[in-house]
Structure 1
């Protein structure tokens, strides 16, 4: 499959923006459902603002989400860090609770399984489990599943049914990138229909997939797209081509029309769909004054766990900062030694506390040569990764000094920092500090209340983005 020039996107201009917006806004008025987003790591809020994210899924918490005045809420499952068995259990529990709360409150919902824009995650396990358990516990019947991995802020585009990742000025088929070589969630296919066939082991074939084309979206063929959606049955798969938010708005108009005619469709998507379906407006990027209290003297901390190439490049660029900075390597390769990780954690914490107290920013980073077990057992590999992640993120949980800011780099790392180290139960998504990089304001019950917590996905941003954020907040 060919690598494309990024300029290829110019051959697909958007329709009249005013017409697109009018279609979209009119459709939103007709969607009288709560949007529930199950997020497999904390980066799914990278397109929204002034929205709550919850880190548990008991009945009381889900009820709060349903009764919240916002159209949309997020539940952080962090399932990308779970084994397959635990992922299934969690999604069965969530499915039962969702239906119970929906029936109790009388509020209907749209379900979005938000996952990685490079299509890594427990697929099709999560959506198949949700479908089966919800249908078992209610009269609800899902006709189809919509796959929409477009995420402009991260350079993820779908055209010609192929998903691409922007690398420099090129669009690289996703199956040819480092993300597709993921030890746990790897894949071969870049054509999303073929990806679905690959991941479902032939249960859903590429030739049976319904594709929503760019031509249909750019020509504002809402009626034609709606008819395609109405024809989907038996949990059939729908792939949305998209290279702009205008495309997603047009698609959502058709989706809402199909829902109004009784169609029940679940999403497996990246972060663009929640923003548009949730009716979340655009806002400016966050500033230092919005995030750092005046007079704050302590240093901040950056925790780097991700090992994708982009993270390593961003880490190297950060070394060029002019800000006072202490770099502390965490040796995760000690995982196989008795008490190896525990002793390493204590060493790093002592040094980090000392430097933060003196006003110096601290960067704690895992060794850049990643540790992989010599085993083909994906769950065992994941378990070791989680042990390492637990050790790394425990550094934040054991800090004695409150930093001026916390930046966590990497999906699993940032989730564990939020839920385990900072003990966040509910957070307000303030917005983004850079495109695709969200900021939580921690709640009163967290380890560090009212702390700006920057969730920096491993595969997002330019090479200098991490340095720019640290410079901004220093």
Structure 2
């Protein structure tokens, strides 16, 4: 294996691996309802026509369980929360979901969907979910960890998780995402990563590893046998370099679960598409987007990763926009915050009558003394952006809304646009940027674009806005 700091061509990584075992999406059989608890809204980016809930009342969850397709997302947005609050939210959902499933007379399996670059509340969320499932008489045998997201260049080989960069493939622990102020880590090998994140509670050698050789040479029956051997919430890390690998895993999961093994998933976005037997759909084009009407749109940018800043520069090159900045130090000062938000939203609403509008936070990242303090600052800035967007759309209904960043897109969906139930309709970039259609409330019919902070190249945001402009 090359030195971790040296970018590697993907062809070099894939050389010498067993040949891909082809599995058609249609081969994936129905199992229990798959309920995806999404720690931000970006997990919907690989699928189409799947319901999304931003509320987890028993009635909302019963609605989700009644929808066709046997899968739905519950946007719990826990990546934006402190650990204690994230734990409480997971408990609430499991309690309500258990009651909803009992009322509907159906079974379910839980996926805790998180970031394909390994950021998020792990092992907290899977620990809490396993505790709650156990309390409801559903003890967990294994926790299946599958962060691979081939569409975005995140693959796992021999348990090492790799991320695509402009220079080539780099182990995830060497990327900017591993230096996240709240969810940073060092390990790229997922077995070591589990040991690191559990602070040694689980030793690396006690983590089961399912390799590409297991998937491609052994196949579903072999992998199901491995899964069936899990006991006592054993972590299981799984390789994947393409959708076929994930579909082999999906067949194995169904086989193991049908024989009584109880599994909990901690996964990236690509897993969902494979698990529900859905093919990758081509990006939506202008003809499909005409259903959402004309009019200028609003682009809200909260993500601070370098890629987002580069994409904003690409949007400026495209032109046809006016930008309005929310200055973070001004937002953090209670004496100036409210007036600043009011001024920005009024000017942005007025501009939207003549062009597309960008509302963004200032690009200098402000962090706190520790991870919790940094999260507090991030929440305060996100809340201000949400207020500015809400005030803007009250003054001028947008033709579309693009939300850039995971926390940003969650908060704008729930608190700016008041989306409670929506359907994912497809993507604007293959497997990476999803379009939601709100189906209830004042925002029904607005095209809502969930654009993660960490996907696409420097031209991706401009491409999405250019495509949305073809609606008219």
Q: Which TM-score bucket, shorter chain as reference?
A: over 0.9
User: Counterpart of 1:302?
Assistant: 299
Structure 1 segment 144-293 matched on structure 2, within 5 A: 144-292=142-290
The answer to whether the aligner puts 1:60 opposite 2:53 as a matched pair is no
> How far apart, CA to CA, are the structure 1 residues paired with 2:268 and 2:31?
22
The answer to whether the aligner puts 1:327 opposite 2:323 as a matched pair is yes
Deviations 1:132-162 (A, max 9, x none): 012112x211101000000112211111211
Aligned partners of 2:324 and 2:358 also within 8 Å: yes
Aligned partners of 2:52 and 2:73 also within 8 Å: yes
User: Counterpart of 1:466?
Assistant: 461
Candidates 368, 378, 382, aligned match of 1:389: 382
Structure 1 segment 410-429 matched on structure 2, within 5 A: 410-429=405-424
> How far apart, CA to CA, are the structure 2 residues paired with 1:126 and 1:393?
26
Deviations 1:177-215 (A, max 9, x none): 111111111111111111111111111111011111112
Structure 1 segment 307-318 matched on structure 2, within 5 A: 307-318=304-315
Unaligned residue ranges in structure 2 (runs of 5+): none
TM-score by length of 2: 0.94
Aligned partners of 1:409 and 1:457 also within 8 Å: yes
Deviations 1:262-297 (A, max 9, x none): 10010000011111111223322111232245873x
> How far apart, CA to CA, are the structure 2 residues paired with 1:243 and 1:50?
25
> How far apart, CA to CA, are the structure 2 residues paired with 1:295 and 1:87?
37
User: Counterpart of 1:454?
Assistant: 449
Aligned partners of 1:57 and 1:75 also within 8 Å: yes
Aligned partners of 2:39 and 2:75 also within 8 Å: yes
User: Counterpart of 1:15?
Assistant: 20
Helix, strand or coil: the match of 2:317?
Answer: coil
User: Counterpart of 1:439?
Assistant: 435
> How far apart, CA to CA, are the structure 2 residues paired with 1:294 and 1:155?
31
User: Counterpart of 1:353?
Assistant: 349
Change (3 A) 1:294 1:151: closer
Aligned partners of 2:298 and 2:358 also within 8 Å: yes
Helix, strand or coil: the match of 1:37?
Answer: strand
User: Counterpart of 1:110?
Assistant: 109
> How far apart, CA to CA, are the structure 1 residues paired with 2:299 and 2:290?
15
Helix, strand or coil: the match of 1:433?
Answer: strand
Helix, strand or coil: the match of 2:187?
Answer: coil
User: Counterpart of 1:88?
Assistant: 87
Helix, strand or coil: the match of 1:65?
Answer: helix
Structure 1 segment 21-36 matched on structure 2, within 5 A: 21=24, 25-26=26-27, 28-29=28-29, 31-36=30-35
User: Counterpart of 1:402?
Assistant: 397
Change (3 A) 1:239 1:397: same
Deviations 1:77-109 (A, max 9, x none): 011111111111111111212222222322111
Helix, strand or coil: the match of 1:398?
Answer: helix
> How far apart, CA to CA, are the structure 2 residues paired with 1:290 and 1:394?
30
Displacement of 1:387: 1.1
User: Counterpart of 1:74?
Assistant: 73
Structure 1 segment 339-350 matched on structure 2, within 5 A: 339-350=335-346
Aligned partners of 1:440 and 1:452 also within 8 Å: yes
> How far apart, CA to CA, are the structure 2 residues paired with 1:295 and 1:380?
42
User: Counterpart of 1:5?
Assistant: 9
> How far apart, CA to CA, are the structure 2 residues paired with 1:155 and 1:187?
19
Change (3 A) 1:343 1:256: same
When structure 1 is superposed on structure 2, of 106-115 and 286-295 the one drifting more is 286-295
The answer to whether the aligner puts 1:46 opposite 2:39 as a matched pair is no
> How far apart, CA to CA, are the structure 1 residues paired with 2:138 and 2:229?
18
Candidates 364, 369, 379, aligned match of 1:369: 364
User: Counterpart of 1:379?
Assistant: 372
- RMSD of the alignment, in Å? 1.6
Aligned partners of 1:42 and 1:76 also within 8 Å: yes
Helix, strand or coil: the match of 1:211?
Answer: strand
